[in-house]
Each structure stands twice: as structure tokens, then as C-alpha cells.
């Protein structure tokens, strides 16, 4: 009897892992994530003309940052003195990339939530045919919801975080009552 129990849990864990690998690779295969090089060019090529002043930096789409030190009086400035600041040349294109990545993460979140809920519902309805398959699909669906939330958590609005956590709590309580009734 112990061997059968071990095999059952091995099947449950296998379903959970493979189901989530399937969901994530399917999304990755059909929905490409933004590529940083599409927004900011090829990063392997060196920047030839680094802007040395704020006007040129901003004109090139960068953001100028002043050095934190004391300003050097003009009478003391020599040829090799520290520049007045530095230019983050990728500032604008990186912002555009981050916005595209946030949108991508939101869409993946929606896809994983939908597939996770489908797996969860199927797991609840196939409980008649076999408890290991049912439990594997249910836990796989829950793991998909967790993975979706983790991927989108940093971009998620605070109210949406509370809603997601509340729904997760309700789902867990409902599954606990439905699955483990004595």
C-alpha cells in the first residue's frame, strides 16, 4: 500500500510540474517577449560619441545626472578635471522597453490565470475518475496562479494585489472544503 501512495504522489507532482511547464512554454512559443535590443539597439556595439553636456545628452534621448561634488570654479578647471555630470544614454529607450515588458507581463498574467483556472476547474470535475489526476490538475492550476502573480507582482496595482490575494484565499478555502470533506 505504501508503494501505491508514493506512486500517487509522484504522479501528482509530475502533473503539477509538467502542466506548468506546458503553460509557460506554450505562452512563450506563441507570444514573444519584448527584446531590449529592439528598443535600445545592439548593446554589443560601443557608444562612439558619449554626450559630455546636458543639452547633447537630452537631445540624444538620454538623461543627464549632475555630479554630487562641489562645482569646480572655472579658474581651477584643467583639461583632465572630472566632468560636471554623466549621461544615461539609454534612458528613453529603456523606459519604452520597461513599458512594453510591463504590458507583456500583464498579458502573460492573464493567460496564466485563465489556464490555471481552467486546470483547477477540470481538476475539480475529474475527481470522480481518479484522485491523483484530480489533485495534480488542481495543484497545477493553483501553481499557475502563483506563477502568474509572481511574474506580474511588481507591475501590479496595489488594489489588484489585494483582489488577487483575496481571490486566492477564497479559492483555497473553497478547494479545501470541496476536496477534503470528511
Residues ≥6 apart with Cβ < 8 Å to 126: 133, 134, 137
pLDDT-derived band at 82, boundaries 50, 70, 90:
low
Average pLDDT, the chain: 82
Highest mean pLDDT among 53-57, 74-78, 151-155 belongs to 151-155
Measured N-to-C along each axis, helices 2-30 and 131-152 cross at an angle, to the nearest 10 degrees, of 40
- The per-residue pLDDT for 99 is 94
Q: Is the pTM of this model over 0.85?
A: no
Distance of CA 127 to the CA centre of its chain: 32
pLDDT-derived band at 47, boundaries 50, 70, 90:
low
* Cα–Cα distance measured from residue 170 to residue 139, given in angstroms and rounded to the nearest whole number: 15
Residues ≥6 apart with Cβ < 8 Å to 38: 97
Contact 40, 90 (CB under 8 A): yes
Region for residue 32 given its phi and psi (left: phi exceeds 0; alpha: psi -120 to 50; beta: otherwise): beta
Question: By three-state DSSP, how is residue 66 classified?
Answer: strand
Higher pLDDT, 167 or 46: 167
Amino acid at each position: 500500500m505504501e508503494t501505491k501512495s508514493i506512486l500517487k504522489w509522484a504522479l501528482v507532482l509530475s502533473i503539477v510540474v509538467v502542466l506548468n511547464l506546458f503553460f509557460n512554454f506554450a505562452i512563450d512559443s506563441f507570444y514573444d517577449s519584448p527584446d531590449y535590443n529592439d528598443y535600445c539597439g545592439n548593446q554589443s556595439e560601443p557608444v562612439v560619441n558619449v554626450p559630455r553636456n546636458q543639452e547633447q545628452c537630452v537631445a540624444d534621448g538620454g538623461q543627464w545626472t549632475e555630479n554630487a561634488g562641489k562645482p569646480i570654479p572655472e579658474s581651477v578647471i584643467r583639461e583632465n578635471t572630472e566632468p560636471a555630470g554623466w549621461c544615461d544614454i539609454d534612458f528613453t529607450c529603456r523606459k519604452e522597453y520597461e513599458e512594453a515588458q510591463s504590458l507583456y507581463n500583464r498579458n502573460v498574467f492573464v493567460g496564466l490565470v485563465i489556464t490555471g483556472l481552467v486546470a483547477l476547474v477540470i481538476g475539480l470535475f475529474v475527481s470522480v475518475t481518479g484522485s491523483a489526476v484530480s489533485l495534480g490538475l488542481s495543484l497545477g492550476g493553483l501553481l499557475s496562479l502563483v506563477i502568474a502573480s509572481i511574474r506580474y507582482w511588481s507591475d501590479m496595482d496595489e488594489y489588484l494585489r489585494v483582489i488577487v490575494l483575496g481571490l486566492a484565499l477564497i479559492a483555497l478555502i473553497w478547494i479545501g472544503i470541496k476536496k477534503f470533506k470528511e
